[in-house]
Amino acid sequence: MSTRHPSGGHRVAVTGIGVKSPAGNTLEEVYTALLAGRSAATRLDRLVEADLPVHFACLAPPFDVTAYLSPREARQIDRPAQLLLCAAADALADARLPADRSPDRIGVQIGTGIGGLTSMEDATTGYATRPRDLPVHTVPRTMSNSPACRIALRHGFQGVCTTYSSACASGSTALAEAARRIRHGELDVAVAGGVDSAVSTVVMGAFARMRALSTRNDAPALASRPFDADRDGFVMGEGAAVLVLERLDEARARGAVVHGEIAGWAETCDAFHIAAPHESGEVAGRCMRQAVADAGLSVADIGHISAHGTSTVPGDRAEARAVDRCFDGQSPPVTAVKGVTGHLIGAAGALEAALALVCAARGTVPPIANLHSSPEANWVDLVHGAPRRVAPAPVLSNSFGFGGQNACLVLAPPP
């Protein structure tokens, strides 16, 4: 096995994964829900009471936060930071890093699309007319780098700590930037991923005003249906996913369990519209191609695609065209996790990368939940009904965000 990546840099291993997501709070639970095509969307009375047009979302199931956080810590932070800290603790426990790692060589790289906006919404709602009573932790709670810095603070990681914001692509951006820092030797270990938790009145209302959200209030579990003819928008989800990245040669030398590699990545911007994807899929398709090339692979090496697939007509259609372009009409099998998990915004790319690693290693393509017939079926090979078995092979994981953000990752099974 070559210890060098085709780029000449270090190969990047993933040695730890932690998730807090609507489809489960362990990776194995999420994987099981994914194979079963079981949607996590549920009706939330508080959304009905708030007079929102959307009555449902995907929330992470309750778990014992006291197993992770002291009451004092829990009181100072908001839900996004809480979910991220817990996912990071799981990822680090999974990675079993040796205690002698130098803390200034460990960095934190996190993506978030919405950050602390919902906490600021609470502060605005509660204190706009009495600013002198604002809780003193308002700024540290709401600043967008708070969740990432809380990880650094808690574990004493003194390497570079960065928060990336590329809307719904944030989690993939963070993983790409983290992997770059490992590849080029800037860090020995990167704790990287994404987080968002924004099922609030204003955020849900604002997305609903764009008609981006599904309003299938009579059947929430059928609402997220990527690529299906009857889709009517995405389903808001919350969660966090964290991966521990390190040099593959170092991971092997210490006998770590390697989940797989972040083998390649690319990022581009449509530069077309602030929210709509370019319908030709040209720039997104180029991003996919660049990510595959960055991994030192050809498109024929890709075993399957984990699509961004949000269940919006413009998004799914543009992505299908982009895949068709990138693969010259020879689409590999395509799955889309959001049918089960909903759209975790800044956490989506990180959760989907974690699942792609599992699927790459096990040679499984999960079915797309709620998909029955698709107008895009002539462009892409959509997996539905039941999981499809394939040979273990690298997975292309796509993330696209408002602003025209494109971020693609290539996740390879353990060498």
Partner 1 sequence: MPTREELAVTVRTVISDVLGTDPAELQDRTSLLEEYGIDSLELMEIGARLERALQLRIDPDDLIAARDVGHAIDLLRTRMDSPV
The residues assigned a catalytic role are: 168, 308, 343
CA distance 249 to 177: 19
Kindly list the strands in the beta sheet with 12-20, ordered across the sheet, starting from the edge strand earlier in the chain.
161-164, 106-111, 189-196, 239-247, 12-20, 260-269, 405-412, 395-401, 304-306, 333-335, 381-382
Q: 6, 9, 140, 392: which one contacts partner 1 (CB under 8 A)?
A: 140
- By CB under 8 A, the residues from 164 to 203 that bind partner 1 are none
Binding mask 25-64 for partner 1 (x = CB under 8 A): ----------------------------------------
SS3 for 298? Answer: coil
CB of 140 to partner 1, least distance (A): 7
Residue 133 interacting with partner 1 (CB under 8 A): yes
Tokens linked to 407: 């971020």
* Length in residues, the chain: 415
Q: Determine the interface stretch with partner 1 among 8-16, 44-52, 129-137, 156-164 (rule: CB under 8 A).
A: 129-137
CB of 150 to partner 1, least distance (A): 14
What are the residues whose beta carbons fall under 8 Å from the beta carbon of 22, sequence distance 6 or more?
A: 40, 41, 58, 59, 60, 61, 237, 238, 239, 341, 342, 344
Q: 6, 9, 135, 333: which one contacts partner 1 (CB under 8 A)?
A: 135
Residue 282 interacting with partner 1 (CB under 8 A): no
CB of 64 to partner 1, least distance (A): 15
Residue 126 interacting with partner 1 (CB under 8 A): no
Q: Determine the interface stretch with partner 1 among 97-105, 135-143, 200-208, 374-382 (rule: CB under 8 A).
A: 135-143
**Residue (of 222, 220, 233) closest to 47 by Cα position:** 220
Tokens linked to 331: 């689409």
CA distance 197 to 105: 29
Q: Which is nearer to partner 1, 6 or 135 (CB)?
A: 135
Residue 139 is which amino acid? V
**Residue (of 280, 238, 331, 337) closest to 34 by Cα position:** 337
Q: Which is nearer to partner 1, 73 or 230 (CB)?
A: 73
CB of 153 to partner 1, least distance (A): 12
**Residue (of 144, 257, 229, 242) closest to 193 by Cα position:** 242
Q: Which is nearer to partner 1, 70 or 129 (CB)?
A: 70
For 314-329, letters b (16+ CB in 10 Å) and e give ebbbbbbbbbbbbbee
| Radius of gyration from C-alpha coordinates of the chain | 20
Q: Which is nearer to partner 1, 74 or 377 (CB)?
A: 74
Q: Determine the interface stretch with partner 1 among 28-36, 112-120, 132-140, 217-225 (rule: CB under 8 A).
A: 132-140
Kindly list the distances between the CA atom of residue 359 and the CA atoms of 81, 240, 244, 356, in Å, as whole numbers in the listed order.
Answer: 28, 19, 18, 5
Neighbours of 37 (CB within 10 A): 18
Q: 137, 154, 362, 388: which one contacts partner 1 (CB under 8 A)?
A: 137
Residue 154 interacting with partner 1 (CB under 8 A): no
Site size for partner 1, by CB under 8 A?
A: 11
SS3 for 327? Answer: coil
Q: Which is nearer to partner 1, 132 or 389 (CB)?
A: 132
Q: Which is nearer to partner 1, 69 or 383 (CB)?
A: 69
Binding mask 62-101 for partner 1 (x = CB under 8 A): --------xxxxxx--------------------------
* DSSP 8-state code for residue 69: S
Q: Which is nearer to partner 1, 74 or 269 (CB)?
A: 74
CB of 70 to partner 1, least distance (A): 6
* DSSP 8-state code for residue 11: -
Q: Which is nearer to partner 1, 66 or 218 (CB)?
A: 66
CB of 176 to partner 1, least distance (A): 34
CB of 146 to partner 1, least distance (A): 13
Cα-Cα-Cα-Cα dihedral sign, residues 378, 382, 384, 387? positive
Residue 136 interacting with partner 1 (CB under 8 A): yes
CB of 133 to partner 1, least distance (A): 7
Binding site for partner 1 (CB under 8 A): 70-75, 133, 135-137, 140
